[in-house]
Structure 1
Amino acid sequence: MDFSSFNFESSLQEGLDAMGFDQPTPIQEKAIPVIIEGKDLIACAQTGTGKTAAFILPVLNKISKSGSNNLNTLILAPTRELAIQIDQQIQGFAYFLGISSIPVYGGGDGLVWEQQKKALETGAEIVVATPGRLIALLAGGKIDLSSLEHLILDEADRMMDMGFSDDILKIVNYLPKNRQTILFSATMPPKIRSFSMKILNKPEEISIAIGKTAAGVTQSMYSVYDTQKEDLVSHILSQKNYEAVIIFASTKDKVKALYKALKKKFDVEAFHSDLEQLEREKIMSAFKNRAVKILVGTDIISRGIDVVGIELVINYDTPSDPEDYVHRVGRTARADMEGEAITFVNPKDQYKFVRIENLIGMEVTQVPLPEGFEKGPDYSREPKKKSGDTFKSKNKKSGFSKNKGGFKANPHKKRENFDSSAPKSAEIPQEKKSTSKKPGKFGPRRNVIDDAG
């Protein structure tokens, strides 16, 4: 089918034609008719599948048909970046319809706050907001939601993870009971299903490839020690003149340290929560325009950042949540394009990566470390030994023996000097055990990333 099958208003269809929209994605094909019919909806689809247009287009079509200029639709998003992203897409489609939207989010200065309040007083058909800032406006009587016809929750699983469930329920109390509620989520854990029953009315349900990565992504992994990561990421970036790369690290301190190391050789920027909102917007704009080619960030950019043409995603740290892996990898191979995702897996994170493989339903190809690198740790998909076996093994290796009184040093075994900077014995293959830190490509050196994190 094509978009003409939805029988959109002529002005909206003309806009889609002008923007090159031809065939809908699977989530658009299934969700748009349900939304047009006015039914509540729970839609589960992975990132990069066109879900934003799936709820924006039918809502714009309804507003265009009604001819009303009252506040019609409230879209809730977990982060300011996603709120801005959705608002920009609405502006692109609504340009042909004369419909206005307003992004409402925190993190800006007093001027941004005043601009948002003034825009709300002036009026708009669609408000895209983060829950915290919207509650502040509602409490101050700055926004009237009595005319609302649509409530849309985008990335509901992320909002639950961020603790917004109570805020959302507070917001719902301000809304008309007679409304259409639409919930989009990349995953559907029990808590989301349970929460949805509190605010939706007999919803239709759609699921598209839950927990799967896009078909166009080539995925691989390196088994590495933490001391090898910095040299490895530098090696990878040196192999090709990449135009758009995102590197994910687990903490903002690691982001800052990696940025400091990479900026000596590469065109890179750091993106984290310590930056002011204007700085973040400036960096993201530069990245979209290819003025900056490499972005190092935390999971703050794993959702809601729609930059077409990202060639490579590097997981500098293995994500703790398998679903976060899907979101990170989903930054590449968007809109049926191709991309590459590489993950660094250290010994203590091997079990995390096994869980990721179980979620995505495939074994990711392990790539040997490049020539010149020391051998990395052995990677095993087998479950670790039971705690009792591990305990017994550690007891034997450490030179301690067990008796009724607890533990005492074994007088017949000389105790080795303990190097606290070395990886734990359980994390090093037997034939490679050493009391010294694992050398990087250029020999032993201080691990600035770990020290910073």
Structure 2
Amino acid sequence: MDLFVVKRPEEEDKVIDESGNIARLLKKIEKRKRQRIKHKATKSTIKNVINRTKEARRIKRELKAKLQSSEVQNLTGIDAELPKNDELLEQNEIAKQTELEGFTILGTDKYDKKPKVKRVLPKWLSNPTVISVNLQDLQHKVSNMKCLSKDLRKKLKDNGVKYFFPVQAEIIPFLIQSYQESKLMIPRDICVSAPTGSGKTLAFVLPVIETLKNFVTKKIRALVILPTQDLAFQVYKTFDKYVKGTHLKVSLITGKSTFAQEQTELITKNEVFGYLSKVDILVCTAGRLVDHLKETKGFDLSELKYLIIDEADRVLDNVQNDWLYHLEVHIHQNDFRILNLFTLNKPRPPQKLLFSATLSQDPEKIQKLSLFQPKLFTSIVDSTEGTEINTNLFIGKYTTPKELTEKYIRCSTDLKPLVLYQFIKQEKLKKTLIFTHSTESAHRLSILLQLFFKDQLKIVEVSSRLVTRRRNKLIDDFAKGIVDIIICTDKLARGIDLVGVQCVISYSSPTFLKTYIHRAGRTARAGEFGLAVTILNHSEVHKFLNLLQEAGKNNLEEIVISEEHLELSGEQYKEALQGLKQSVTKESKESVRKVKLTKRKLKTNVRKPTTVIS
């Protein structure tokens, strides 16, 4: 019995299927034939159009040449002599729009360049309050700043401050007025972008002291966050100088003291009232702040009036311990944005004050701070009176003081130390900072220059190789004039206020524009004149000049060091290099000896098992 029945096609069915296939093939052949004919016709049309267009252009050029040679002034009638110009244009347009099997004909169309995308900034960033930074013509007398108390004005005069810088004259009244109106409305947060040395620190120190001095109970009402210990200590000293004579207490937590010592300075415990604050104004680094938020019992920021972030761009880039998240959670910032009967009884959110010479114009970065109706104060180096200021020219630009002169030197890599020596010698430089890219480079360059100048100049190295006390001592000696030249890394480039720096030399080319701005910002401070010089390899010049164009600096002067002077110092250079080699070798052997000695001590300190006599 068959399980499957297979139906086989008859012969007639086969003939029908084959005839159908042949018919379909013939249709395809006919279709392709028509397509080839159409393609040839189109190509012929395009070719004719192109040829006739070329012919028209040639005739036009000949006519123009004839008219110019015969000095004919009447140019009418030229287009009339062109053969069917309108017809050619129409055919050309048809050829442009012709498509073959979904493909656009190439070579007959001119594509417009893509327009540049213009960034659209938030309204508060695109409409800043512009501050001039002309420090040569100060007009705002301290005695006229009536919003400050007489005691503060007297302290300013005692410290030699007779005039306010433009940044201070703009920010101080604004902050004091904002605080006075805070009972009716939440104060606006502010961002201040101004060149280094323009007086930003005093611009927030004075209004904070003025507004907090009338509080009786001790609470942390002002928190100042900085990126480094050195900067925090500098701001702490400024606060400490101006709070004298008031009951305000300023404290510093950066990790230089032990954690337990910092806790005793911040908090005290009372049997009746519990934990009490001993501080009104707290200056700190971000990482140490998080440690106290987590570990210190009774550490309370609920009464905070001011949250000040100095060197804001660097602090925002610092994600150490996720400090911003922990701070926001601690002060319950999100609850303050919704006003109802419950939140009205709570303290108002702290007013945020951001200060930097290179403040980020990236809205995404600033958005992390959840600023409340922010206002931007920014500065321009120069503006002509009576003319409208175009804010698009300086929004997002980094500015440097008007008193700063900027130059560069071009040389080969192997001659950089010799060029540096010759430049210092011919300019008779003192009070100079020299920046290098690493601690090792700073150390070797300091040895080399010491061998060059011997007893002529006092040259020291300031880097992480030195302990903090030694480093601070050398900086103080530099301010007093005992030290002539400091060779350092970029750790000294941020915010440190060194008195009387005449020249800044970048021995290593800065990689980023921010780095250059902060290096150059160590000189030309507080209205003084200064010089910034960068020594570049031949391959670095183009990149460096392009980098400075971002800040609107297009005409830097090049300093040319004479080769004759370099040749005269050739032998001295060889001797100095030999001395450097010997010094480095000696230090290496000394380092090895210390390591061996340390290992030997560890072995001798290991306790041997004692034997017990039974």
Please tell me the TM-score bracket, short chain as reference. 0.7 to 0.9
- Structure 2 counterparts to residues 6-45 of structure 1, below 5 A: 6-36=146-176, 37-38=178-179, 39-45=188-194
3-12 or 216-225: bigger deviation: 3-12
Instruction: Give unpaired runs (5+ residues) of structure 2.
Output: 1-139, 180-187, 269-277, 334-348, 381-396, 586-614
Following the alignment from structure 1 to structure 2, what is the Cα–Cα distance between the partners of residues 125 and 6?
Answer: 24
Following the alignment from structure 2 to structure 1, what is the Cα–Cα distance between the partners of residues 572 and 286?
Answer: 47
Partner residue of 1:81?
A: 230
Partner residue of 2:494?
A: 303
Following the alignment from structure 1 to structure 2, what is the Cα–Cα distance between the partners of residues 192 and 444?
Answer: 55
Following the alignment from structure 2 to structure 1, what is the Cα–Cα distance between the partners of residues 303 and 444?
Answer: 49
1:202 and 2:389 are equivalent in the alignment:
no
Partner residue of 1:172?
A: 328
Match of 1:366 among 558, 564, 567: 558
Q: Percent identity?
A: 27
Q: Give 1:57 deviation, angstroms.
A: 0.8
Match of 1:337 among 524, 528, 540: 528
Q: Is the 8 A contact 1:228 1:441 kept in 2?
A: no
Following the alignment from structure 2 to structure 1, what is the Cα–Cα distance between the partners of residues 213 and 305?
Answer: 13
- Structure 2 counterparts to residues 289-438 of structure 1, below 5 A: 289-362=480-553, 363-372=555-564
Amino acid at match of 1:70: K
Identify if the C-alpha distance between structure 1 residues 207 and 370 changes in structure 2 by more than 3 Å, giving closer, same or farther.
same
Identify if the C-alpha distance between structure 1 residues 445 and 305 changes in structure 2 by more than 3 Å, giving closer, same or farther.
closer
Amino acid at match of 2:433: I
Q: Is the 8 A contact 2:293 2:326 kept in 1?
A: no
Instruction: Give unpaired runs (5+ residues) of structure 1.
Output: 376-438
Q: Is the 8 A contact 2:479 2:500 kept in 1?
A: no
Partner residue of 2:467?
A: 276
- Structure 2 counterparts to residues 34-183 of structure 1, below 5 A: 34-36=174-176, 37-38=178-179, 39-106=188-255, 108=256, 111-121=257-267, 123-141=278-296, 143-164=299-320, 166-175=322-331, 177=333, 178-183=349-354
Deviations 1:185-231 (A, max 9, x none): 22233446633453321111111134122111222110112212212
Q: Give 1:71 deviation, angstroms.
A: 1.6
Deviations 1:229-283 (A, max 9, x none): 2122222333455442111111111111112222333312222234333333233
Following the alignment from structure 1 to structure 2, what is the Cα–Cα distance between the partners of residues 6 and 235?
Answer: 52
Following the alignment from structure 2 to structure 1, what is the Cα–Cα distance between the partners of residues 422 and 317?
Answer: 35
Q: Give 1:117 deviation, angstroms.
A: 2.9
Partner residue of 2:141?
A: 2
Q: Is the 8 A contact 1:256 1:270 kept in 2?
A: yes
Q: Give 1:344 deviation, angstroms.
A: 0.4
Deviations 1:367-415 (A, max 9, x none): 111343569xxxxxxxxxxxxxxxxxxxxxxxxxxxxxxxxxxxxxxxx
Deviations 1:140-175 (A, max 9, x none): 125322222110000111223444593233223222
SS of 2:448's partner is helix
TM-score norm. by structure 1 comes to 0.77
Q: Is the 8 A contact 1:147 1:176 kept in 2?
A: no
Identify if the C-alpha distance between structure 1 residues 323 and 137 changes in structure 2 by more than 3 Å, giving closer, same or farther.
same
Following the alignment from structure 2 to structure 1, what is the Cα–Cα distance between the partners of residues 363 and 474?
Answer: 33
Amino acid at match of 1:194: K
Q: Which is higher, the Rg of structure 1 or of structure 2?
A: 2
TM-score norm. by structure 2 comes to 0.58
Identify if the C-alpha distance between structure 1 residues 352 and 113 changes in structure 2 by more than 3 Å, giving closer, same or farther.
farther
Q: How many residues align?
A: 385
Higher relative contact order (CA 8 A, sep 6+): 1
Following the alignment from structure 1 to structure 2, what is the Cα–Cα distance between the partners of residues 237 and 342?
Answer: 11
Q: Is the 8 A contact 1:319 1:352 kept in 2?
A: no
285-294 or 251-260: bigger deviation: 285-294
